[in-house]
Structure 1
Amino acid sequence: MRTTFGLLFLLLTSNTLFAQGPKVLIVTAHPDDETMFPATVFKITRELKGTVDLALITDASGGYNGLVASTYYDKNLTDSATGRVALPLLRKKELICAGEVMGIRNFFFFDQLDDFYQIDPKPFFEGKRWDMAFCEKKLNKILEEGQYDYVFCLVPSAEQHAHHKTASILAIRAVKNLKSEKKPIVLGGRALNKNYTYSFDVLDGFPETKISKKAPVFYFDRSYGFGENNKHSYMIVADWVKACHKSQSGDMNSSMHRGDLETFWYFDINVESGIEATSKLFEKIRQSGFVTK
């Protein structure tokens, strides 16, 4: 009898282990940065039964484009003085709302100053903007304890906000320096239209951002139609997530129902053997739930 029970327990626990999906950590600078790849995250958590956590680097006190949101929240969110006080709490609540849609498990808040729009990430790594020693230590601990399979960040393009680039470089360096035999694969995400001409190779001055020439650009087509009259698509998930970010009513209004593809770029710091594993992951994503191409 004991042998039968033990065998049954082993079978049940083995099935649970094999059924477990990938573990992912998202590292972004601002609430709403995750709108670059929400449908991919949704499919990982809801359909592949994986787990996703999110590390937010800034305190979310910037972003004064909430003209309509000012009426919604009864606060002048286009005014920086008001925003500095009100936005950190509002935007974190909005991120948690978006996280409920995507199935985010844990949030890690680093609370570095969301100071002003700028392009150059170098001052951040020189310690002139953020407490980088604190950020590095905290992110290292999260990675060590989380045992993630993947880390998602934004593609650190030259034209991007310095906060975006700094957060992504921070994530890449943290994985690169991780003292572990098994390191997560770092992917840079970006939402693009199907006919995109965008390309990325490396951010000047930061060789760790170099993209592998052996890997394809992985993608999920969130606009692909299915169901009755093809009127359904995973684009609705992206819209649900964007709708949570009410304080950013200007940016979200212009981005609603846009960006057909959630694209992911494979950094050269990753092991070459991870390319095949990542290809299989995105094939599973496309074949899970409501099948897409």
Structure 2
Amino acid sequence: MKKATHALGFVLLFVFFCYQSYSQGPKVLIITAHPDDETMFPVTVFKVTHEMKGTADVALITDGSGGYNGLVASSYYGKNMTDSATGRTYLPLIRKKELLCSGEVMGIRNFYFFDQIDDFYQMNPEPFLSGERWDMNYCEKKLDKILEQGKYDFIFCLVPDAGQHAHHKTASIMALRAAQRFKGADKPIVLGGRSASKDYSFRFTELENYPETRISSKAPVFYFDRSYGFGENNKHSYMIVADWVKACHKSQSGDMNAAMHKGDLETFWYFEINGDLNIERTRAFFEQLKSSGFPTK
């Protein structure tokens, strides 16, 4: 009898905890390397801020100056957006404005700009994590302060798989390490996101040499189906929100053109550092996400 009472008490406590956590809406911090990285999961953020009455902030690590690949954007901005010198001069401001546009769609509350150099495409995160290329002492102190003040429920970053840009890997490792350093009672749950088609075959367990990136074998891959149709003749879906966000990043006209109206799912991998007890809390979050606004499966 005592065991049954204790079990019931635990369940009630868990339900109460979840209610307390989200009675004011979940709080999310997005930590990414480049303006436009948030296009991997914009609908999840949109639903948090608009339909779950939560909040979302962005911590952007680089200045975005390396994204000089906008051929059509050259006509739009009246500058050669494929030229490195032009990009280094104008892209930091242009891409901040584009992120503000994206953030208006998603309902972003605060933007934190770290302005680390968006140098060039490479695969090794170590020059950045070691402080050789980025001011890691500054970044870590700033992230710690943001987490302390924000009291976030979740941190969204990109899945740091081996094929990713070094900047993406570094930003995600920074997010994981910041969560590990957090001194508060409730550590934020860190999720690695990416968009995918419904028949995706991508698998991820961890980034070699970085054990903090290990995925929990006990958790599912959480997801939101942004292509699910509803309303009149099922012609409505949340894909339009993703397209609105992508359209803001005009300087990246090549990448955004290829990405437009693609990626049915916003998928999220659950890191082992979050602990087993937070799996159900994360599951409850995604169930609430799917049932809010215009319900999807």
Q: TM-score category by the smaller chain?
A: over 0.9
Asked if 1:203 is matched to 2:207, the reply is yes
Asked if 1:24 is matched to 2:28, the reply is yes
> Which of 224, 233, 236 is residue 232 of structure 1 equivalent to?
236
> Which of 231, 243, 256 is residue 260 of structure 2 equivalent to?
256
State how far apart, in whole Å, the 2-side matches of 1:61 and 1:131 are: 17
> Which of 83, 93, 98 is residue 94 of structure 1 equivalent to?
98
Asked if 1:40 is matched to 2:55, the reply is no
AA aligned to 2:281 is: A
RMSD over aligned Cα, in angstroms?
Answer: 1.3
> Which of 157, 160, 163 is residue 156 of structure 1 equivalent to?
160
AA aligned to 1:265 is: W
Asked if 1:180 is matched to 2:184, the reply is yes
State how far apart, in whole Å, the 2-side matches of 1:98 and 1:70 are: 20
Secondary structure at the aligned position of 2:56 is classed as strand
Asked if 1:247 is matched to 2:268, the reply is no
CA 1:169–1:16: 2 relative to 1, 3 Å: closer
Report the Cα offset of residue 167 of structure 1.
0.2
Equivalent pairs: percent with the same residue? 72
Report the Cα offset of residue 19 of structure 1.
3.8
Report the Cα offset of residue 16 of structure 1.
11
CA 1:18–1:274: 2 relative to 1, 3 Å: closer
State how far apart, in whole Å, the 1-side matches of 2:130 and 2:171 are: 14
AA aligned to 2:187 is: K
State how far apart, in whole Å, the 1-side matches of 2:23 and 2:244 are: 27
User: Alpha-carbon deviations, 1:145-198, whole Å to 9, x = none?
Assistant: 110000000000100000000000000001011112210000000000000010
> Which of 126, 130, 143 is residue 134 of structure 2 equivalent to?
130
AA aligned to 1:91 is: R
Which residue of structure 2 aligns with residue 66 of structure 1?
70
State how far apart, in whole Å, the 1-side matches of 2:114 and 2:291 are: 35
Which residue of structure 2 aligns with residue 5 of structure 1?
none
State how far apart, in whole Å, the 2-side matches of 1:180 and 1:286 are: 29
Secondary structure at the aligned position of 1:130 is classed as coil
> Which of 265, 269, 272 is residue 269 of structure 2 equivalent to?
265
Secondary structure at the aligned position of 1:42 is classed as helix
CA 1:18–1:114: 2 relative to 1, 3 Å: closer
User: Alpha-carbon deviations, 1:110-139, whole Å to 9, x = none?
Assistant: 000000000000111121110011100100
Report the Cα offset of residue 60 of structure 1.
1.0
Which residue of structure 2 aligns with residue 291 of structure 1?
295
Structure 2 unaligned spans of 5+? 1-18
State how far apart, in whole Å, the 2-side matches of 1:196 and 1:271 are: 26
Secondary structure at the aligned position of 1:269 is classed as helix
Report the Cα offset of residue 17 of structure 1.
9.1
> Which of 141, 144, 148 is residue 140 of structure 1 equivalent to?
144
State how far apart, in whole Å, the 2-side matches of 1:54 and 1:256 are: 22
State how far apart, in whole Å, the 1-side matches of 2:244 and 2:185 are: 38
CA 1:170–1:16: 2 relative to 1, 3 Å: closer
State how far apart, in whole Å, the 1-side matches of 2:71 and 2:21 are: 48
> Which of 112, 118, 123 is residue 122 of structure 2 equivalent to?
118
State how far apart, in whole Å, the 1-side matches of 2:22 and 2:48 are: 15
Secondary structure at the aligned position of 1:142 is classed as helix
CA 1:213–1:18: 2 relative to 1, 3 Å: closer
AA aligned to 1:260 is: D
AA aligned to 2:75 is: T
Report the Cα offset of residue 18 of structure 1.
6.6
What is the TM-score with the length of structure 1 in the denominator?
A: 0.94
Secondary structure at the aligned position of 2:273 is classed as coil
AA aligned to 2:35 is: P
Which residue of structure 1 aligns with residue 13 of structure 2?
none
Which residue of structure 2 aligns with residue 274 of structure 1?
278
Segments ≥4 residues shifted beyond 4 Å: 15-18
